Amino acid sequence: MGENFFLMIAAVVVASAFWVVFSPNLIHSAVSLLFTLFSTAGLYIFLYADFIAATQIVIYVGGILVLIIFGVMLTSRIDTPSVASSSANQFIGGLGASAIFIMQIGIIFNTNWKTDTSQVRESTVNAIGKLLLNEYLLPFEIVSILLLAALMGAALLSRKP
Amino acid sequence: MDSLQSYLVIAAILFSMGIYGVITRKNAVAILMGIELILNSANINFIAFNRFGGLNTLDGHVFAIFVIVLAAAEAAVALAIIINLFKNIDSVDVSDADILKG
């Protein structure tokens, strides 16, 4: 049961990622990205990462994807063919991407991974909160400042001059 | 489902797809989607290694949170730049943005 469910989610991830890259229509790409992000959250749940799965849905699906769809709508006229995205460099791109893929597959299956799944975990929220406010306090603050600066910069860039 | 390799293979597929999208797409928003795929594959790797690496802490999860925050910042700034590009040259085709070319 769990095995079949995992295979189903993996198939959805791969198929929708394929359509994100190959779809001629940008809106179709964006909707396909929605399925990729949602099923990636499913993979996180299989990895016992409940907080990351919730964050993935709230921030990626609720935030970044809406921003991307805004970007598509604001920069293309839907009724004209300009919303269709043309491609270039298919040969070089295909060659480079498959070379990277073959290299990664080779590394994955030739390495003797020492896996250990003995530890049993319940909710991860408690431990993540403790890590963020003790060990990772400085990176946490730096990334907060960075996010604030990036959002102010984005607002400044996109307002009318 | 309980092996590290299956997650790594999924992440490798996502990464290669993202690379292919970034190289071949001409629309700037589509390139941004490819970058999101790449960041997602990195996140899957972080979480998978944290689960199967025999660690007793959740450092991989914290790294994944930082990656998600950086992805949000990157998407916001990139879309502001793309909208400005559209205002200035009336196109989001990255091969049209060649004003600096000599």
Sorted by where each starts, the structural domains of chain B and their CATH numbers stand as 4-96 (1.10.287.3510)
Task: Band the pLDDT of A80: cuts 50, 70, 90.
Answer: low
Query: Does some domain include residue A98?
Result: no
| Structure token digits, residue A80 | 């004209």
Touching A: B residues 50-89, CB under 8 Å: 50-54, 56-59, 61-62, 64-66, 68-77, 79-84, 86
Query: Does some domain include residue A3?
Result: yes
Asked which of A23, A44, A78 is the last residue of a domain, the reply is A78
Query: Does some domain include residue A159?
Result: yes
Touching A: B residues 26-45, CB under 8 Å: 26-30, 32-34, 36-37, 40, 43-44
Q: Total domain count for chain A?
A: 2
Could you tell me if A2 and A71 lie in one domain?
yes
Could you tell me if A8 and A70 lie in one domain?
yes
B32 and A60 within 8 Å at the Cβ level: the answer is: no
| pLDDT tens sequence across B41-61 | 999 999 999 988 877 788 999
Task: Band the pLDDT of A84: cuts 50, 70, 90.
Answer: low
Domain at A49, CATH number: 1.20.120.1200
3-state secondary structure of A33: helix
Whether the predicted pLDDT of A4 surpasses 70: yes
User: Chain B interface, mutation test: which of A68, A83, A126, most B Cβ atoms within 10 Å?
Assistant: A68
Q: Phi and psi of B27, rounded to 5°?
A: -80, 130
Could you tell me if A16 and A69 lie in one domain?
yes
| Structure token digits, residue A7 | 């295979």
How far is Cα A34 from Cα A38, in angstroms, rounded to an integer?
A: 6
Query: Does some domain include residue A16?
Result: yes
Q: What is the reported pLDDT for A88?
A: 76
Query: Does some domain include residue A59?
Result: yes
Domain enclosing residue A13, as ranges = 1-78
Beta bridge mates, A116 = B53
Asked which of A47, A63, A78 is the last residue of a domain, the reply is A78
* A88 against A46, higher pLDDT: A46
Query: Does some domain include residue A106?
Result: no
A104 and B73 within 8 Å at the Cβ level: the answer is: no
Q: What is the reported pLDDT for A14?
A: 94
Could you tell me if A56 and A127 lie in one domain?
no
| Cβ contacts of A38 on chain B, cutoff 8 Å | none
Asked which of A78, A107, A139 is the last residue of a domain, the reply is A78
Percentage of chain B beyond pLDDT 90 is 60
Environment class of A126 (CB within 10 Å of its CB; exposed 0-12, middle 13-18, buried 19+): exposed
> What is the mean predicted confidence (pLDDT) over A97-104?
94
| Cβ contacts of A74 on chain B, cutoff 8 Å | 83, 86
Name, in order, each residue with C-beta under 8 angstroms of A130's C-beta and a sequence gap of 6 or more: none
The alpha carbon torsion through B19, B24, B13, A61 (nearest 10 deg) reads 80
Could you tell me if A73 and A146 lie in one domain?
no
Q: How far is CA A116 from CA A105, A111, B42, B55, in A?
A: 21, 15, 21, 8
Percentage of chain A beyond pLDDT 90 is 58
> What is the mean predicted confidence (pLDDT) over A81-89?
63
Environment class of A45 (CB within 10 Å of its CB; exposed 0-12, middle 13-18, buried 19+): middle
A55 and B53 within 8 Å at the Cβ level: the answer is: no
Query: Does some domain include residue A83?
Result: no
Q: What is the reported pLDDT for A79?
A: 55
Could you tell me if A2 and A63 lie in one domain?
yes
In residues, how long is chain B? 102
Percentage of chain A beyond pLDDT 70 is 91
Task: Band the pLDDT of A85: cuts 50, 70, 90.
Answer: low
**Which pTM was predicted?**
0.90
| pLDDT tens sequence across A42-60 | 999 998 899 999 999 999 9
Query: What's the mean pLDDT when you consider all of chain B?
Result: 90
Query: Does some domain include residue A100?
Result: no
| Structure token digits, residue A76 | 């293309």
Cβ count near A53 (within 10 Å) = 21
| Structure token digits, residue B38 | 């790449």
How far is Cα B78 from Cα B94, in angstroms, rounded to an integer?
A: 13
> What is the mean predicted confidence (pLDDT) over A119-141?
88
